[in-house]
Amino acid sequence: MGVYIQVLEDLQSQQQQVIPSEKLAEKCEVNSSQIRKDLAYFGEFGVRGVGYYVTDLLQAIKHFLGIDRNWNCILVGVGNLGRALLRHRQLPQKGFQIRMAFDCDPFKIGEHVAGHEVVCTRRLKEKAQLMQIDIGLITTPPERAQRAANHMMQAGIKGIINFAPTRIHVSSDVTVDYVDFSNHLISMAFRLSHP
């Protein structure tokens, strides 16, 4: 689904107003009926004989996915990866604002990264509750990920994305998503080994 947005935004910036599923499929490298099925799932947006109106479609997809609004995020673990995310300009562009950054290292507390002051993790609950935080990003070492998740849950955060390569345990009303690059490297190694 994310690919559709990527490609449609490209088309939009190229001023292309309409695109048929066949062409969109090519750009997304998927089957065209796949696209039609996916899009039909949340409404009739195409026009027979014409195709899909890029802008309308984008808006419809974004609304359906819940990304036609801003989401407040916090980040715990201002290390290599944490800094990269804090400095990543595309996240706020897409409606995901990292509102605060936390770390437990006294040398990092007080530092500023991309306009964010790094705050002590112990103050997470207190700080995060001042603002309605939707999503927490964990970029601590794996052995600290559970602790970071606990802090987030105490602050009432219901969505956690864990970049540390370890499973975490959360209560049933919290959604966790795992991001692990090494899976992509592994998958690549496999494909290169079995040509």
Ligand X SMILES: NC(=O)c1ccc[n+]([C@@H]2O[C@H](COP(=O)([O-])OP(=O)(O)OC[C@H]3O[C@@H](n4cnc5c(N)ncnc54)[C@H](O)[C@@H]3O)[C@@H](O)[C@H]2O)c1
Partner DNA sequence: TCTTTCTTGTGAAATTTTTCTCAAGTTCAT
Partner DNA sequence: ATGAACTTGAGAAAAATTTCACAAGAAAGA
Residues that bind a copy of itself (CB under 8 A): 1-3, 5-7, 10, 27-29, 64-67, 71, 73, 80-81, 83-85, 87-88, 90-91, 94-96, 134-135, 158-159, 161, 165-167, 175, 177, 179-194
Reference 24, options 54, 55, 63; nearest CA is: 54
Q: Which two tokens stand for residue 125?
A: 């609950």
Residue 147 site contact among ligand X, DNA, a copy of itself, none (CB < 5 to 8 Å, cut-off depends on kind): ligand X
Query: Please, which residues have CB within 8 angstroms of residue 96's CB and are 6 or more apart in sequence?
Result: 70, 71, 73, 135
CA angle 177, 7, 160 (to 5 degrees): 15
The kind and range of the H/E element at 16 are: none
- The β-bridge relationship of strands 71-76 and 46-47 is unpaired
Contact partner, 192, from ligand X, DNA, a copy of itself, none, Cβ < 5-8 Å per class: a copy of itself
Enumerate binding residues for DNA (CB under 7 A).
19-22, 30-34, 36-37, 39-40, 44-52
Query: In whole angstroms, how close is the CB of 21 to a copy of itself at the nearest point?
Result: 17
Tell me whether residue 67 or residue 104 sits nearer to ligand X (CB atom). 104
CA distance 4 to 59: 12
Residue closer to a copy of itself (CB basis): 20 or 159:
159
Task: Please give the sequence-ordered ranges of beta strands (E in DSSP) within 104-141, or none if there are none.
Answer: 112-113, 116-120, 135-138
Q: At its nearest, how many Å lie between ligand X and the CB of residue 40? A: 30
For a copy of itself, the closer of residues 6 and 123 by Cβ is 6
- State the residues that interact with ligand X by CB under 6 A: 76-82, 84-85, 87-88, 90, 102-105, 108, 121, 139-142, 144, 147-148, 163-165, 181
Burial 83-100 (b: 16+ CB within 10 A, else e): bebbeeeebeeeebebbb
In angstroms, what is the minimal distance from the CB of 50 to ligand X? 32
